[in-house]
Amino acid sequence: MLNYLMPTLSVIAVLFCLKAGAHVSSISAVLTSESKPFSLHAGIHGVQYFSESTSDSKFQQQAQIEGQFEDSKNFLVKAHGFAGTFSTPKSSYYGVPELYIGRALGAPENTIILGRKIENFSFLDRQQNLGLFNPYFSNDMIHYKEQGLIGLHANSRVSVFGIYGGFFPYYIPNQGPQVYEEDGEIRSSNRWAQRPPTQFRFGTQNREIIYAIRDYEIDEIVKNAGSAISIFIGKAATRPWVKASYTRKPVNQIPLSRETFGTASNFVGQVKLSPVVTYNQVQSVDFNMDSGRFKTTWSYLEDRVENQTALEDETLQFLAPLKMYGLWIATDLSDFFDRRFVTEISYAQLHDGEIKDLLADGRPSLFTFSSQRSLFKNPFRIKFESELFFVNDRPLSSAFAWTFDQLYQGTLFSGSLRYEAVAQMNINFGFDLLGVEEEQAETHFLQEQQANDRVYGGLEYVF
C-alpha cells in the first residue's frame, strides 16, 4: 500500500512538476462572508482545449469542492482543504493548504500556532509563484494555491517592530500536475505534466527507455526539519515598510536521482528513479511604499541550494542558485469609474536558476528531465481587475493579465469573467492563451505548452 500511496500522492505527483513562475490571480468564483466562520464551495467546469493531446481529452469536465473553517474567539483555528477530479481517468487531486490551532498571548499581535500555516515571507516569491518559501499546489502551472509549512509558528510585535519564527519538523514538497509509473513508463492524465524522454539515441537508432520507481520509506521524505525567521518594520503587518526573511529547509522542488543502465540483448535503457531531499537557504527583502491610491513594492530574493553529489553510476539533478528582483506598482481607480477598477504593473529579472543532470564525477548527463527552475526569466506583466457593468444590480466582474517574457519572447494572456446570477451562485468564464514569437534552442515553459490554449466555464455555489 505504501509503495502505491507515496509515489502517487506525496512525491511522484510532484517529481516531474514544472517550475513555478506564472501568476494570474483571476477573480475567484468563491463567495465569502466574513460573518460565517465556515464556508463550503462546490463547482463544476467544462474545459475546452484548442488542440489534441495524448495525455487527456480535448474537452474535459472538472468538479471540485472546497471548504474552510476559521475562528479566533477562544483559539486561533483554521482548516482549509479541497478535493476535485477531471473527467479523464487517474486525475483526482486534493490539498490541505492550512490546518492549525493556536492562541494569542496577551495582545492579538503576539501568537503561537501549531500546524500547517501560510506565512507571508516574500512578496516576489508569492507574486511569481516560485515556491521557495511556501510550497504550492497547481494542476496547470498557471493557477496556483499557496500551501503552508508544517510546524510551530510564533509571531510577536512591539510598536512598529515585528518578528516571526518558525520550526518545521515535517516537509511536503510542491504539488504539481500528477504523474505515475505504469508498465515501465512515466505517465500522466494531465497534459501540463512534465515527463522524461521515452527513447534514447544509440548509434543510428532510437531505443526504448523503461522506468521504475525505487522503493523508499515515507519517513525518508517527510521527516526533514527546517526553520525560518522574518523581521519587519512598519505600522501594517501585511505591508510593512521593510521586511526581511530567511529560511533553511528542504527545497520544495525535490530533485531526482536516477540509475541508468542498458541491456546488451536488446539495447533497452533501464532507469530507476528516486527522490533526494536537498536543503536550500533562501533570503529576501521587501520595501513597501503606499501613498493614497498607489502601492509600490520593490522585492529581492536569492537562494542557495546545498546540492549533493550523485552516487557512483548514477545521475542527480543539480539546482543552480538563483537571484531575482522585481518592482510592482498598483493603483485603485475605483473612485474615478464609480466601480471597482484596479491595475497592476510589474517587472522582474531572474538570474541563473538552471537545472542540470550531473554524473558522480560532475560531468553532465546525455539528457535532462528539466532545464529551468522557473517559468519566466524577465517577465513584464500588466493586470486589470474591474466591474465591467451591472445586471440586476449585480456586477459582471473581470480580471485580465498579460505577461511578456523579454528573454524568451513569449506571452501568457489569461482572463476571467464572473457573474453572480442568483444569490450564492456564480457563473464564470475564462481563458489562457500561450505563445512564442519564434522557436528557441533552449526549451522553456511557453515553448513547451504553447499548444495548450484553452477556454473554460462553469458554475460555482457556496453553501
Express each pLDDT in 278-319 by its tens digit: 999 999 999 999 998 999 999 999 999 999 999 998 999 999
CA–CA distance, 213 with 233 (Å, rounded to integer) = 48
CA–CA distance, 77 with 67 (Å, rounded to integer) = 14
- Please give the pLDDT value at position 12: 37
**Cβ atoms of 383 and 363 closer than 8 Å:** no
- pLDDT tens sequence across 344-388: 999 999 999 999 999 999 999 877 778 889 999 999 999 999 999
* Residue spans per domain, the chain: 2-462
CA–CA distance, 310 with 278 (Å, rounded to integer) = 12
To 10 degrees, the CA torsion angle through 404, 405, 411, 416?
-60
The pTM is what? 0.88
Neighbours of 441 (CB within 10 A): 4
Q: Is the pLDDT of residue 23 over 70?
A: no
CA–CA distance, 19 with 371 (Å, rounded to integer) = 10
CA–CA distance, 80 with 73 (Å, rounded to integer) = 18
DSSP 193: -
* Mean pLDDT score, 54-82: 95
Instruction: Write out the CATH class of domain 2-462.
Output: mainly beta
What is the rounded average pLDDT for all residues in the chain?
89
Distance in angstroms between the alpha carbons of the first and the last residue of the chain:
35
Where do the H-state alpha helices sit in 306-444?
Answer: 334-337
- Please give the pLDDT value at position 197: 80
DSSP 7: I
Backbone torsions φ then ψ of 331, nearest 5 degrees: -140, 145
CA–CA distance, 267 with 202 (Å, rounded to integer) = 8
* Mean pLDDT score, 214-243: 94
Residue 240 corresponds to which cell in the numbers above? 510593512
